[in-house]
Structure 1
Amino acid sequence: MKKKIEDILEFDKVKQMLSQHIVTKSGLEHVNDLKASHSYDEIEEYLMETEDGMTVLRLRGGIPMPILENIKPHMKRIEIGAMLNGLELAQVGRVLTTVLEIQHFFDDLKDADIELHRLYDWSEKMIALPELSKEIRHAIDEDGTVTDDASPELKQIRQSIRRSEQAVREQLDGILRGKNSNYLSDTIVTMRNDRYVIPVKSEYRSHFGGVVHDQSASGQTVFVEPRQVVELNNRLRQHQISERKEIERILAELSNELEPYRHDILQNAYVLGKLDFINSKALFGKQLKAVVPRLSDEKDVHLKQARHPLIDEDVVVPNDIVIGKDYQAVVITGPNTGGKTITLKTLGLLQLMGQSGLPIPVGEESSIGIFSNIYADIGDEQSIEQNLSTFSSHMTNIVSILDNLDSDSLVLFDELGAGTDPQEGAALAISILDKVGEIGAYVMATTHYPELKVYGYNRPNTINASMEFDVDTLSPTYHLLIGIPGRSNAFEISKRLGLSPDIIEQSKQIIDGESQDLNDMISDLENQRKMTETEYLEMRHYADEAENLYHDLKEAYERFFTEREKEMNKAKREANEVISKAQEESEKMIKDIRQMQLRTGNNQSVKEHELIEVKSGLENLKHDETHLKKNKVLKKEKEKKSFKAGDDVLVEAFGQRGTLIEKVGNKEWQVQLGILKMNVSEDGMTRIAPEKEPRMRVSTVKSDGGGSRQSVSTQLDLRGKRYEDALAEVDQYIDAALLAGYPQVTIVHGRGTGALKQGVQEYLKNNRRVKKYNFAPSNQGGDGATIVTF
């Protein structure tokens, strides 16, 4: 398809809507390359992929695709022997991990016997590299940080760094708490030029010796590295240099290990992008309430309740658009702003989308054709540069279309022949349509000319259509009426607006008799259509009533048998209870008789087999209740339970306990599941007994008279620590600070990549005991530290 038709029909806006659901950079490339095909096999393949995506979305919520970056440049650098940094390696590792996860996902679909046309084939094209994936994941964090476990040497170096940092901080903490603290601007330890320093009042800059690394903006504070920590900072710096060299060695080693698998990794990235693209088509279809159309190799276009995808669903009027099977040409007439142009654009755009493999907003069982090209002359394309009039501009475009037209093309003409003398314009329009018909192309055209209404009757494979106009409200309804040409509503509108009947009658006498007959014929057709619609709606009403009556009768029938089974079951239970009681008494009597026989030695009075027969007879009096459990109607009815707000229920799909909030549908309730609220059908949950209130175990902590504060610092330093270890330490520290009774503490997390800072603040946000938290003032570390108020 030519780019011009995509611009006219605004296909790029559809691609923008589609790209909103893309999560991988490779998938975005598939969207940007999206074009309509004219190969039956290709289009069928694309549509089957879309159908697969919508099936997976419906049954599993979609393909679980994470955000993936474009790794093509990374593989290009690997090809020339360059080293990847930590973040680039993490992105490659994420692709490899995703391959394993997606393969496992499709294996689960296979185990569940879910039938798919194409997605299983795509999943098998991915090449799993579990060992390489594991190695990268072991050495590189998600944010690109090299982990301590990447090598024994790195782990040892980082332990040395932590010990050196601790030694430096202990020395500086001694200064902060010592008698020299009066010389300081603030009692904090900070960093300048990657070395630990303390803020000293400018007039005492030489008191501590050492090196001055920086000063405040006001000049009243200098940041001094005291002489007693210079050597410790030097040792720390040496460890940091060793760390950097070891990290570079690890990154180079991992980069070299990727080289043999470069093509496999690129293949995986491409397939993941393809799966992301298919998933986005499914999400796009769900957004538009679209379906996958049937594909007709005979150009049978039948779009049921078609909607323009770029118009709000609440505003757009759905229409049935038909062309190709019974007629090659459709001529649409009707008033301005009646929806003719939108109908043309809807046909063209939906056909473009379908031939691109996208779902389209139409009803089920809709079909699209396959056209080699779609041409359109829509809107005012007046060219100022060429100094052409509107008519000339349109005619230039039409000439170009006719020169390139073939029998496999679809043509859309808007206001064909407009912009010139009506008589000449109508004649040109008829001739152009005849030429298109001679070529064998398919055409839909809009026009104002009454001559074109007669054309639809006289030409084979041609049909009239119109946009409905409501004379009562003097406004268009935007409904497309196939088979009925538009008629002039000037007389009716003028009459409703108060024009004299004499003038209207005189106008009717002046108008050409043939035109008047045509309008009368159109009016009769419209009346017949409305009568048919009224009869249909009436029959539909009766059919709905009959269906409701059938369901009510079926429900009452099932309820009758259920109640009957319940009553029979109840009666049998009561009878069995009476029999059981009588059996117990008879057993006692038989036992007494047997004892009497044994005592008297007279075995002739009552025989043993007679006693057994009597006992068996009593057993046979019991009714068998087990068959009731097999009764399908009863079993079905037992599963139906009455619910009310506040009931505790078990949501069977998740195996979770929840509480009913309110009824939101016929058999649907809103259920509170932990912190989530979900709508659940009554068939998917079971009432359960309320959960007993747990007995609160209260433990007491013996007060130490405030001494605990001395063992807990008002500041926690997390720098240099791993993310998970740091957050665990924050959790312990907050508890200790609360027990110590501190109103406020400081957490120093540094700037770094920002991951640790974000993690700390996310923890504080979710801690109920934290009243507020803010970054420290600039002279106390700025956004490298967070002050927490309880």
Structure 2
Amino acid sequence: MNQKTLNKLEFQKIIDLLSEHASSPGGKQACRGLKPMTDIGAVNTAQEQTQAAFTRIVKKGHLSFSGCYVVHDSLMRLEIGSALNAAELLRIGKLLKTAGRAKAYGRHDTVDELADCLDVYFEQLSPLAALSAEIDRCIISEEEISDDASSRLKQIRRSIAGMNDKIHSTLNGLVNGSWRTYLQDAIITMRGDRYCLPVKAEYRNQVNGMIHDQSATGSTLFMEPMAVVKLNNDLKELYGQEQEEIQVILARLSVDAAEYIGEIRTNYQMLTELDTIFARGALALDMNASRPIFNTEGRIHIREGRHPLLDKKKVVPITVTLGDTFDLLIVTGPNTGGKTVSLKTVGLFTLMGQAGLHIPALDRSELAVFEQVYADIGDEQSIEQSLSTFSSHMTNIVSFLQTVDEKSLVLFDELGAGTDPTEGAALAISILSHLHSRGIRTMATTHYSELKVFALSTPGVENACCEFNIETLSPTYHLLIGIPGKSNAFAISEKLGLPDYIIQEAKQHLSEQDESFEDLLTDLEASRRMIEREKDEAAAYRREIERLKSELKDKQAKLDAQRERILKEANEKASAIVREAKDFADETMKNFRKFGKESISAADMERERERIRKQLAKTQNKSELEKKKPQKEHKASDFHLGDSVRVLSMNLTGTVSSLPDAKGNLFVQMGILRSQVHMSDLEIIEEPLTLTAKQMRRTSGGKMKMGKSMHISSEINLLGKTVDEAIAALDKYLDDAYLAHLSPVRIVHGKGTGALRNGIHQYLKRQKHVKSYRLGAFGEGDAGVTIVEFK
């Protein structure tokens, strides 16, 4: 990709924003070296990595790579057997700690977390916990080695402390004793590495000691008393032994680190790549960007794209299509209307997407992979352009017309401007016709009416305009595809107070063809607004029809299922009644034949008659007393603690108080009765999540208990909502979670400006059923989430 285009489209500013999200020196350097790629496989891989990082950041918070120090030089020294100093070993230790944190961050803690393309990076990390712990134990800072680094070092430092005490004791005796009158000040000082006393110069011969220094005036001599010379010598020797032992410790740690040179180098490489990938994910989160879909057919379809370098609160989204039914788009309209912004948005999105970055546009936006992007965009947008400006633009255009091909994207800003309008328009039409004939994807902005006519009359070329509000004399910055823009010079002049007679005279200088063309544009604009209004109304009607259609379909499906179930149950009951009646009739006939052959008493016959009467009555009411069957067979996994169920054999409702055992038996609480039943005798009651007086009842302990299980998530995601929208959703969620005895719960609000977090915290302060709340700790989402506990 040519550097001139990258500069024109301000790609480097995007790279600067990206590098700010990297936290390691190597990651920042890799971000600064990021360039657009031309292989669609590599582009899609980078986009997938960015998407995975974005998802992990949203779920788990940001991952810091600040401890990933550059260790290449240190590893090279280890390879040749050199010993590292404390600072180098400390950087290796911090690198290993960062690898350990990243390794923990990369683990999938729950079964519902899906594997992604970043797992391969996290799996290659080797925290080397033993080596990291040993470095951490031995080295406190770059200038300090721990006493516990070795037993000999501890012994030497203990001796140094004892020797210092002995020297101070001896010197204090001299200060408070025989040397008191000879001293300038009653203090103990050091010169070099020797303890000394400040002696007045006139008493130099009255004291026995070695002179190490004197004051600037010469009135004070810093003398080492002979009584502590040997002690100072012994102390200096101990300091020498201390340094020797420190070198031994550093050498030992260097030998230990040398065994893992390959793992340390791999850790650095993986952490640097992860830092770069997560920087892309963090930038996407900051821009509220999405992953574009790429193709190699030259199709561009940007859905409500926002230029990433403009104020997010003020930028107006644009929708741009190119390369599907037309390969040349000509954008017209007044100055400051947003034409150049639209042009730069298309070019910058292309560069960002091919560099593996998400684009700030709606999901399912589509971009094409181009081998080159050529842009002729002037920095000065003035009507007073000199010939030199025109020449510089032509020089730039000539340079890339020699190399442009069908795999290129070409962007022109004010093509043909800076020279005679007639010649400029003709030249612009010629250049665009040449590119259009070769099928090269091109987007150009212009003021020339000739180019509007060219777009209207040429197949495969489309007009577009940046909408302008005549009433307010201000652009709306909306890009409208398919409609040429008006210059609006007369209308703007009239609004600004130019006399009407001057405007009328100016209109007389227009040719009839030009005036007709402007009238045509006016009619097109009015038609467009009417069509858009009717389109919005039709879309609203269509959505309403789809909703009613869906509701009707659901109701019909429920009715059909209910009808089939009732018919099936009725047939089964009828068959059972007929079968039982037939069996009973056969038994009755057999008994009467038996009565005819044997001498049966009248009392026995009366008892048999009564039994037959009761059986007939029972059979007659069989449909009412028939044991119900569950509407569907349930599995053991369908039952959860607290589920509301109906016990069919008892015709009672209750709550599941234990999970099914291996035989399918479980306990059901029915009021004060707790009974063990088989799951085949149960029917799960499907009810809406609304609480009524019947669904809540008091137990013998007086506590409120749900009449059904409420499966409430332990987390609510409020990202992207305003404070009012978030509070409304949070109020409902906290009530549900509190009633379901779910505590603590997690509120995901992101970091951003902090407005959403502050609004949520102000709301939580006023809730009486909230016991406490806090920001998430490391691994919980940091300041992007709030953890709430109920009373």
Q: Same fold (TM over 0.5)?
A: yes
Q: Which amino acid aligns with 2:495?
A: R
How big is the shift at 1:670? 11
| Structure 1 residue ranges without an equivalent (≥5) | 548-557, 578-624, 655-659, 689-790
What do residues 193-237 of structure 1 show as CA deviations (whole Å, max 9, x unaligned)?
A: 123334455555666543343445565554443332222121111
After alignment, is 496-505 or 320-329 more displaced? 496-505
Cα contact 1:176–1:187 (8 A) shared by 2: yes
Aligned pair count reads 616
How big is the shift at 1:348? 1.1
Cα contact 1:667–1:681 (8 A) shared by 2: no
Partner in structure 2 of residue 288 of structure 1: 287
Partner in structure 1 of residue 17 of structure 2: 17
The 3-state SS of whatever aligns with 2:257 is helix
After alignment, is 526-535 or 513-522 more displaced? 526-535
Cα contact 1:464–1:485 (8 A) shared by 2: yes
2-side partners of 1:451 and 1:56: how far apart?
52
Partner in structure 1 of residue 570 of structure 2: none
Call closer, same or farther: CA 1:74–1:333 in 2, change over 3 Å: same
How big is the shift at 1:493? 1.4
The 3-state SS of whatever aligns with 1:469 is strand
Q: Match for 1:630 among 699, 704, 708?
A: 708
Partner in structure 2 of residue 467 of structure 1: 466
Q: Which amino acid aligns with 1:312?
A: D
Partner in structure 1 of residue 693 of structure 2: 564
1-side partners of 2:191 and 2:745: how far apart?
59
Pairing 1:404-415 to 2, within 5 Å after superposition: 404-415=403-414
Call closer, same or farther: CA 1:668–1:407 in 2, change over 3 Å: farther
Pairing 1:702-717 to 2, within 5 Å after superposition: none
Pairing 1:489-508 to 2, within 5 Å after superposition: 489-508=488-507
Partner in structure 2 of residue 729 of structure 1: none
Cα contact 1:87–1:145 (8 A) shared by 2: no
Cα contact 1:463–1:482 (8 A) shared by 2: yes
Q: Report the identity percentage.
A: 39
The 3-state SS of whatever aligns with 1:498 is coil
Cα contact 2:775–2:785 (8 A) shared by 1: no
Pairing 1:388-787 to 2, within 5 Å after superposition: 389-534=388-533, 562-565=691-694, 569=697, 628-632=706-710, 641=735, 651-653=744-746, 662-663=762-763, 685-688=788-791
The 3-state SS of whatever aligns with 1:332 is strand
Cα contact 1:661–1:669 (8 A) shared by 2: no
C-alpha RMSD of matched pairs (Å): 4.2
Partner in structure 2 of residue 8 of structure 1: 8
Partner in structure 1 of residue 106 of structure 2: 106
Pairing 1:138-287 to 2, within 5 Å after superposition: 138-143=137-142, 145-178=144-177, 180-181=179-180, 184-201=183-200, 203-204=202-203, 209-216=208-215, 221-287=220-286
Call closer, same or farther: CA 1:51–1:669 in 2, change over 3 Å: farther
Cα contact 1:663–1:670 (8 A) shared by 2: no
What do residues 572-604 of structure 1 show as CA deviations (whole Å, max 9, x unaligned)?
A: x69x99xxxxxxxxxxxxxxxxxxxxxxxxxxx
How big is the shift at 1:39? 0.6
Q: Which amino acid aligns with 2:65?
A: M
Partner in structure 1 of residue 38 of structure 2: 38
Call closer, same or farther: CA 1:534–1:225 in 2, change over 3 Å: farther
1-side partners of 2:442 and 2:199: how far apart?
86
Call closer, same or farther: CA 1:540–1:328 in 2, change over 3 Å: closer
Cα contact 1:338–1:476 (8 A) shared by 2: yes
What do residues 270-317 of structure 1 show as CA deviations (whole Å, max 9, x unaligned)?
A: 111011111111222222222222223333222222222222223332
Partner in structure 2 of residue 359 of structure 1: 358
What do residues 19-42 of structure 1 show as CA deviations (whole Å, max 9, x unaligned)?
A: 112221221231132111011110
How big is the shift at 1:146? 2.8
Cα contact 2:298–2:441 (8 A) shared by 1: no
Cα contact 1:671–1:680 (8 A) shared by 2: no
Call closer, same or farther: CA 1:380–1:272 in 2, change over 3 Å: closer
Cα contact 1:375–1:410 (8 A) shared by 2: yes
1-side partners of 2:764 and 2:527: how far apart?
42
The 3-state SS of whatever aligns with 1:404 is coil
Partner in structure 2 of residue 122 of structure 1: 121
How big is the shift at 1:526? 2.2
Call closer, same or farther: CA 1:239–1:633 in 2, change over 3 Å: closer
Cα contact 1:407–1:440 (8 A) shared by 2: yes
TM-score (norm 2): 0.69
Call closer, same or farther: CA 1:224–1:498 in 2, change over 3 Å: same
What do residues 336-390 of structure 1 show as CA deviations (whole Å, max 9, x unaligned)?
A: 22222222222111211110001222222222211111011111599xxxx9822
How big is the shift at 1:49? 0.8
Partner in structure 2 of residue 316 of structure 1: 315
What do residues 46-98 of structure 1 show as CA deviations (whole Å, max 9, x unaligned)?
A: 11111111111111102243332211121222334433211011111222232
TM-score (norm 1): 0.69
After alignment, is 632-641 or 144-153 more displaced? 632-641
Partner in structure 1 of residue 29 of structure 2: 29
How big is the shift at 1:263? 3.2
Call closer, same or farther: CA 1:9–1:86 in 2, change over 3 Å: same
2-side partners of 1:517 and 1:370: how far apart?
41
How big is the shift at 1:418? 1.3
The 3-state SS of whatever aligns with 1:368 is strand
How big is the shift at 1:653? 4.2
Call closer, same or farther: CA 1:290–1:210 in 2, change over 3 Å: farther
Call closer, same or farther: CA 1:252–1:635 in 2, change over 3 Å: closer
After alignment, is 317-326 or 629-638 more displaced? 629-638
How big is the shift at 1:149? 2.8
Q: Which amino acid aligns with 1:94?
A: K
Q: Which amino acid aligns with 1:231?
A: K
2-side partners of 1:280 and 1:668: how far apart?
41
The 3-state SS of whatever aligns with 2:406 is coil
Call closer, same or farther: CA 1:398–1:670 in 2, change over 3 Å: farther
1-side partners of 2:403 and 2:163: how far apart?
79
Call closer, same or farther: CA 1:22–1:224 in 2, change over 3 Å: farther
Cα contact 1:562–1:633 (8 A) shared by 2: no
Q: Which amino acid aligns with 2:118?
A: L
After alignment, is 455-464 or 533-542 more displaced? 533-542
Cα contact 2:306–2:360 (8 A) shared by 1: yes
How big is the shift at 1:185? 5.0
Q: Which amino acid aligns with 2:77?
A: R
After alignment, is 22-31 or 197-206 more displaced? 197-206
2-side partners of 1:536 and 1:681: how far apart?
41
How big is the shift at 1:461? 2.1
2-side partners of 1:560 and 1:24: how far apart?
49
